[in-house]
Amino acid sequence: MRIKSRSVIALSAILAILAIGLPTVSSAANPETIKLTVHYQRTDADYTSWNLWIWKNLLTGTDVDVNKAGVTFTGDDAYGKVVTLDITGMDKFDNLGIIVRKGEWSSKDIPDDRFITKFGANGVTEIWLRQADPTIYYELPTTAAPVPVGNKLAKLYESSDFISKYTYTGKDLGNTYLAAATKFRVWAPTAKSVALVTYESAVSPAASGTEIAMTADLNGTWVTTLTGDKDGLIYNYRVKLEDKTNEAVDPYVRATTINGERGVVVNLAKTNPANWNTKKPSFSGKATDAVIYELHVRDLSMDASSGISAANRGKYLAFTELKTRSGG
């Protein structure tokens, strides 16, 4: 019998350990303890419920959360909000992940995660973050903070100049149908151009649509007219903004294709069932005198005891049948 040498035995032991698996360790040589100070600035100075989610990050392996409840700002400075905390065990991790969130994930200040990759030799690390800016600053930033697009638009829409210039009070937004012609009007004051796009069917590909340029008109509205009877015409609007073009359903349309993907011109006079009465019952105008029902067509009409004819059960025509009653 051969006796294994010590070197063979040692090699076998190493291979056995590797087969079992070793814990993943950091590829970076970070200080064991990081004393992190985070400064955070919001352009609107509204810090209500905003806090930090920080985790010890490994490029390969399992991350560890610093605080499962999140990290709350503890003070204020000339820049905005600030917090300082000690994070231990960082010599086993590559970097720190950090997210600025509102409450418990109701929103994030930017879509992507940030990662702190630079640490002081003694562990003391200071960073500056800004709303709508993905950059982690390791020195106080001197450039102007970016203004979120939403904030810019909100200020624009709320300005007295915008309101006086672009408030439209007409009653003809959407499509106005007549047998001889259909007029279209949409409010899009920030658009560079607007086109009416028509389709042969509800499932026609977007590329097959026919575009008709619309003309800028009163108070930020855009208009065009199509001659002829357009009852049943399927359409959308294509709106060109600063850097992109969006296709959207007419917000004032009275009918749409399945799932509301495209609008439809409808001759409403043809949708009234036989014996339709346009006269409304008298009403005092007081909410206490109102009786409001929420009614499901199928629930109302499907049971035979309703007295509704089988042909109209589950259909809106069920509402047109007189002298019917529920057997419930």
- DSSP letter at 305 equals G
Map residue 200 onto helix, strand or coil.
coil
How high is the pLDDT of residue 296? 87
How high is the pLDDT of residue 150? 63
State which H helix or E strand residue 300 sits in. helix 297-301
How high is the pLDDT of residue 149? 65
How high is the pLDDT of residue 82? 98
**Residue pLDDT, tens place only, 80-119:** 999 999 999 999 999 999 999 999 999 999 999 999 999 9
> Percentage of the chain with pLDDT > 90?
66
Q: Contact, 185 vs 219, CB < 8 A?
A: no
**Residue pLDDT, tens place only, 193-203:** 999 999 999 99
**Residue pLDDT, tens place only, 41-53:** 998 889 999 999 9
Model confidence, pTM? 0.49
Domains observed in the chain: 33-149 (2.60.40.1110), 170-270 (2.60.40.10), 278-328 (no CATH)
Q: Contact, 200 vs 208, CB < 8 A?
A: yes
- The DSSP result for 129-153, as a single string, is EETTEEEEESS---SPPPPPHHHHH
Q: What integer best gives the mean pLDDT of the chain?
A: 88
- The DSSP result for 275-291, as a single string, is T---PPPP--S-GGG--
How high is the pLDDT of residue 4? 41
How high is the pLDDT of residue 212? 97
Map residue 84 onto helix, strand or coil.
strand
Nearest to 157 by CA among 189, 131, 185: 189
Residue with tokens 């399945």: 258
Distance of CA 16 to the CA centre of its chain: 52
Per-residue pLDDT band for 151 (boundaries 50, 70, 90) equals low
If phi > 0 it is left, if psi is from -120 to 50 it is alpha, else beta; for residue 69 that is: alpha
247 or 278: whose pLDDT is higher? Answer: 247
144 or 129: whose pLDDT is higher? Answer: 129
- DSSP letter at 71 equals B
**Residue pLDDT, tens place only, 27-80:** 558 999 999 999 999 988 899 999 999 999 999 989 999 999 999 999 999 999
Please determine, for residue 14, whether its predicted confidence score (pLDDT) is greater than 90: no
